[in-house]
């Protein structure tokens, strides 16, 4: 019996190592500059979600993580790039962040970020910030340093885009879709207007069993399209959510002051199982197409984040569609229309209020719009990026 257990343990370890190697290899192929950054949530595991945060590594591109001062894009940059009324809008709105595991330093790290950039305090004491577990209680799950970085990223992006919004952090006890979905339901029950989900997992024949967690009419649910390039994932594939792709964002001398191209890591493509929503009219997918809209996600044009749990502590720089999902959820909060908007439908009828992203690719799909940005709708960037709040 002991020998059988030992053999099983060895087989399990070898399987885990093979999966780790395979995932790392694929990531390296899709991201030629892979050595410059890494996914904070490690390898993908079947039936579990992986957060979509990518952290810049030390001593690359002039970026100095764990530094005493930020070196990525800050709130003023993001508000400028997307022409947002962040200073005047968002009061009375609550943006929920759903992630797995606990970040013990979430509130204190958030305070540093907001203070650094002159944003109003958002604390438990003043009623702006609230942290709960997946059922709404205060017995938090075990801490996890990777997901803590994801949480810090999400909280800071809400702060950057909608500093007048309240923030609700709901921590699932694990990264299973059942637990994360339960956390989404809790966020809605506690009054969130918009809910951001910066995680995803591979599609499977059983994914429809989790779809109801992400179906909340009168509320906006956003989900990251993924960081592995061309290919669909859930929950972004559900037709009741706003699937958020990613771009590379750079300062420019043009009239906007910024330029964007499709980020090569952004997820996109055709769902294998989820039906196409009535408001999506592209012809290359008979089912749901990813994405709907996008925002900055390229770690090479990353954002500043403050996080201290499990790190040396200090300012970090992040990319991934974990950046773009909370940005878009917060733009919806600025618009304040969640109660009257049907998922991503308003985007498709207000394309003039979006910046069209027309260049860049995230993989090989025969050169079609599903992986190649172009005029109008495309997979990696959807209909484009925010140009104010008119499309939301």
Q: Tell me which of 249 and 8 has the higher pLDDT.
A: 249
Q: Does pLDDT of 356 surpass 70?
A: yes
The pLDDT, as a whole number, for residue 45 is: 74
Q: Does pLDDT of 9 surpass 50?
A: no
Q: Does pLDDT of 12 surpass 70?
A: no
CB 8 within 8 A of CB 275: no
Q: What is the mean pLDDT of residues 309-330?
A: 92
The pLDDT, as a whole number, for residue 62 is: 59
Q: Does pLDDT of 70 surpass 50?
A: yes
Q: What is the mean pLDDT of residues 152-181?
A: 98
Start-to-end Cα distance in the chain: 61
Cis check: omega of the bond before 114, within 30 degrees of 0? no
Q: What is the mean pLDDT of residues 64-75?
A: 84
Instruction: Determine the Cα–Cα distance for residues 235 and 210; give it in Å rounded to an integer.
Output: 9
Confidence of residue 42 (pLDDT cuts 50, 70, 90): confident
Q: What is the mean pLDDT of residues 3-8?
A: 38
DSSP string spanning 253-317?
SSSSSEEEEE-TT--BEEEEEEEPPTT---SS-SEEEE-SEEEE--GGG-EEEEE-TTSS-EEEE
The pLDDT, as a whole number, for residue 115 is: 98
Count of all residues that appear for the chain in the document: 392
Average pLDDT, the chain: 90
Instruction: Determine the Cα–Cα distance for residues 213 and 238; give it in Å rounded to an integer.
Output: 10
Instruction: For residue 328, report the phi and psi dihedrals to the nearest 5 degrees.
Output: -70, -40
Q: Does pLDDT of 46 surpass 90?
A: no
The pLDDT, as a whole number, for residue 63 is: 62
Question: How many angstroms separate the Cα of 61 from the Cα of each of 35, 250, 299, 383?
Answer: 12, 14, 11, 30
Q: What b/e string do you get for 338-364 counting C-beta neighbours within 10 Å, with b at 16 or more?
A: beebebbebbbeeeebbbbbbebbbbe
Q: What is the mean pLDDT of residues 312-325?
A: 92
CB 30 within 8 A of CB 363: yes
Instruction: Determine the Cα–Cα distance for residues 89 and 101; give it in Å rounded to an integer.
Output: 31
Q: What is the mean pLDDT of residues 164-176?
A: 98
The pLDDT, as a whole number, for residue 98 is: 98
Q: Comparing 4-13, 223-232, 335-344, which segment has the lowest mean pLDDT? A: 4-13
Percentage of residues of the chain with pLDDT beyond 70: 88
Confidence of residue 65 (pLDDT cuts 50, 70, 90): low
* Contacts (Cβ under 8 Å, ≥6 apart) of 294: 225, 244, 245, 246, 247, 262, 266, 324, 328, 357, 380, 381, 382, 384, 385
The model's pLDDT over 359-369, given as tens digits with 9 standing for 90+, comes to: 999 999 999 99
Instruction: Determine the Cα–Cα distance for residues 153 and 195; give it in Å rounded to an integer.
Output: 15
The model's pLDDT over 20-41, given as tens digits with 9 standing for 90+, comes to: 333 333 333 344 444 488 899 9
Confidence of residue 162 (pLDDT cuts 50, 70, 90): very high
Confidence of residue 17 (pLDDT cuts 50, 70, 90): very low
The pLDDT, as a whole number, for residue 304 is: 97
Burial class (CB in 10 A: 0-12, 13-18, 19+), 368: exposed
The pLDDT, as a whole number, for residue 26 is: 38
The pLDDT, as a whole number, for residue 61 is: 57
Q: What is the mean pLDDT of residues 86-108?
A: 98
Confidence of residue 110 (pLDDT cuts 50, 70, 90): very high
The pLDDT, as a whole number, for residue 377 is: 98
């Amino acid at each position: 019996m002991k020998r059988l257990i030992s053999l099983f343990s060895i087989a399990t370890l070898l399987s885990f190592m093979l999966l780790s190697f395979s995932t790392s290899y694929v990531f390296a192929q899709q991201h030629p500059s892979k050595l410059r950054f890494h996914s904070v949530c490690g390898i993908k595991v079947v039936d579990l979600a992986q957060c979509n945060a990518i952290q810049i590594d030390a001593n690359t591109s002039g970026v100095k993580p764990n530094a005493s001062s930020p070196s990525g894009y800050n709130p003023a940059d993001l508000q400028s790039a997307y022409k947002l009324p962040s200073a005047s809008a968002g009061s009375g709105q609550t943006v929920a962040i759903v992630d797995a595991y606990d970040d013990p330093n979430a509130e204190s790290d958030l305070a540093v970020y907001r203070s650094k950039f002159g944003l109003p305090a958002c604390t438990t004491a003043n009623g702006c910030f609230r942290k709960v577990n997946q059922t709404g209680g205060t017995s938090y799950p075990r801490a996890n340093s990777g997901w803590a970085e994801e949480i810090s990223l999400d909280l800071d992006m809400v702060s950057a885009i909608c500093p007048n919004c309240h923030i609700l952090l709901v921590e699932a006890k694990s990264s299973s879709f059942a637990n994360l979905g339960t956390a989404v339901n809790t966020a809605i029950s506690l009054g969130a207007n918009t809910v951001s989900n910066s995680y995803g997992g591979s599609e499977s024949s059983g994914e429809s069993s989790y779809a109801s967690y992400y179906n909340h009419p009168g509320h906006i649910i956003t989900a990251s399209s993924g960081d592995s390039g061309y290919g669909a994932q859930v929950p972004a594939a559900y037709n009741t959510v706003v699937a958020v792709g990613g771009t590379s964002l750079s300062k420019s001398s043009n009239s906007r002051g910024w330029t964007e191209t499709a980020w090569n890591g952004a997820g996109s493509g055709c769902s294998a199982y989820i039906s196409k929503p009535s408001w999506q009219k592209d012809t290359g997918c008979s089912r749901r197409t990813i994405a709907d809209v996008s925002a900055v996600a390229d770690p090479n044009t990353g954002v500043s984040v403050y996080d201290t749990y499990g790190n040396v502590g200090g300012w970090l720089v992040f990319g991934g569609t974990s950046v773009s999902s909370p940005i878009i959820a917060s733009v919806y909060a600025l618009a304040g229309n969640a109660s009257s908007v049907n998922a991503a439908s308003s985007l498709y009828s207000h394309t003039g209020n979006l910046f069209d992203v027309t260049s860049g690719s995230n993989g090989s799909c025969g050169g079609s719009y599903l992986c190649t940005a172009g005029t109008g709708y495309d997979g990696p960037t959807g209909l484009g990026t925010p140009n104010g709040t008119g499309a939301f």
